[in-house]
Amino acid sequence: MKFKNLGRSGLSVSRLCLGTMNFGPETSEQDSHAIMDSALSHGINFFDTANRYGGAGSWGLTEEIIGRWFSQGGGRREKVVLATKLYGEMDPWPNNRGVSALNIRRAVDASLKRLQTDYIDLYQMHHIDRNVPWEEVWQAMEILVAQGKILYVGSSNFGGWHLAQAHAAAATRNFLGLVSEQSIYNLVTRDIEREVIPAALHYGIGILPWSPLHGGLLGGVLAKDRDGKRRLEGRSQEAVEKIRPQIQAYEDYCAAKGIEPGDVALAWLLAQPAVSATIIGPRTQSQLDSALRALDVELSEKNLNDLDEIFPGYKTSPEDYAW
């Protein structure tokens, strides 16, 4: 396993982060525990979850599954860099959503109970909350750090200017502020290259891409359809048809290199300077095994340029749209 510091922090995380969103809704508890054991045995020390994961009507189930895995002992909790999130509504009662000081306090205590641990390594805001001033957010987070309930703070789905606002407000309090940002980022969806990545690099915030295969479109979807391994229909077919020529060119390129498309997609992300780790969300053990192969893929400068020709990215703003 390869490791990298999370942003400017001293926290060392595996380049692959185990996303757990499927644990519960798609993957049984027994299989989820087996996947976590396997991930740990391969050196993946970074696990990501959220208080809302578990499916409609079962918010918190995924954290509970992880908590029961931790309770088995064997150094599981000590070996894992644990990341979870808050923001989404846990029930319709007022103040049980967002990042108000009240909800931050309630949400972290509820997550700690479900996870059966006394601290969270990386506590992330799942979305920007425009109704809460940064002074309130950082005051609440500072208290949690002082109490030993969390160690680091991260964000998810923030804009570049949100990162700048957060950093400026934290700096006035001599607080570390954000060390990571989770964003959708892959060869197809590269919007964050305009402003989020430049801001992250400037402030030392590690990027944690989610949906690295763009819902499977970068995992050899056309070949699987031809071979009868995956049937394209509904929204999946619509998504493919929008960029079919690019996907075909991509799969042809990967085939010529003798590398699986999914491995190339993950390796491309790991080659991006701002990326600390990329989040994988396996439903099965075989999907975890497939993701691990990407660690052995080395992309040359020419490979990266070739992929940019197939899936053009963006320049840093304002050069992206101005001279």
Query: Any idea what the CATH number is for the domain that residue 56 is in?
Result: 3.20.20.100
Residue 57: pLDDT band with limits 50, 70, 90:
confident
pLDDT at 48: 98
pLDDT at 35: 98
Helix or strand (DSSP H, E) at 178: strand 178-184
Mean pLDDT for all residues in the chain: 96
Query: Residue 121's domain spans which residues?
Result: 3-215+264-310
pLDDT at 220 over 70: yes
Percent of the chain with pLDDT over 90: 91
> Looking at the domain assignment, is residue 17 inside a domain?
yes
> Looking at the domain assignment, is residue 223 inside a domain?
no
pLDDT at 118: 98
Q: Which 3 state secondary structure label does DSSP give 237? A: helix
For residues 102 and 221, which has the higher predicted lDDT (pLDDT)?
A: 102
pLDDT at 55: 87
Cβ atoms of 173 and 211 closer than 8 Å = no
Residue 226: pLDDT band with limits 50, 70, 90:
confident
Give the residue-averaged pLDDT of 198-207.
98
pLDDT at 237 over 90: no
Give the position of tokens 């987070």.
141
Give the residue-averaged pLDDT of 91-96.
92
Cβ atoms of 114 and 67 closer than 8 Å = yes
> Looking at the domain assignment, is residue 117 inside a domain?
yes
pLDDT at 224: 86
- Strand 16-19 relative to strand 278-280: parallel, antiparallel, unpaired? parallel
Percent of the chain with pLDDT over 70: 98
Closest CA to 201 of 280, 323, 316, 320: 316
pLDDT in tens, 259-314: 999 999 999 999 999 999 999 999 999 999 999 999 999 999 999 999 999 999 99
Residue 233: pLDDT band with limits 50, 70, 90:
low
pLDDT at 228: 75
pLDDT in tens, 138-148: 999 999 999 99
> Looking at the domain assignment, is residue 88 inside a domain?
yes
- Strand 278-280 relative to strand 178-184: parallel, antiparallel, unpaired? unpaired
For residues 112 and 92, which has the higher predicted lDDT (pLDDT)?
A: 112
From 53, 87, 123, 185, the catalytic residue? 53
What are the Cα distances from residue 98, in Å, to 115, 133, 265? 20, 12, 33
Total domain count, the chain = 1
> Looking at the domain assignment, is residue 172 inside a domain?
yes
> Looking at the domain assignment, is residue 45 inside a domain?
yes
- Supply angle C-alpha 310, 313, 317, rounded to 5: 160
pLDDT at 21 over 90: yes
pLDDT in tens, 145-191: 999 999 999 999 999 999 999 999 999 999 999 999 999 999 999 99
Please tell me the pTM assigned to this model: 0.96
CA atoms within 13 A on the CB side of 8: 12
Comparing 14-28, 227-241, 288-302, the range with the smallest average pLDDT is: 227-241
Across the beta sheet with 178-184, the strand order is 206-210, 178-184, 150-156, 120-125, 81-86, 46-48, 16-19, 278-280
pLDDT at 321 over 80: yes
Give the residue-averaged pLDDT of 219-227.
87
> Looking at the domain assignment, is residue 11 inside a domain?
yes
> Looking at the domain assignment, is residue 85 inside a domain?
yes
Closest CA to 214 of 234, 190, 182, 193: 190
Q: Is 53 an active-site residue? A: yes
pLDDT in tens, 25-53: 999 999 999 999 999 999 999 999 999 99
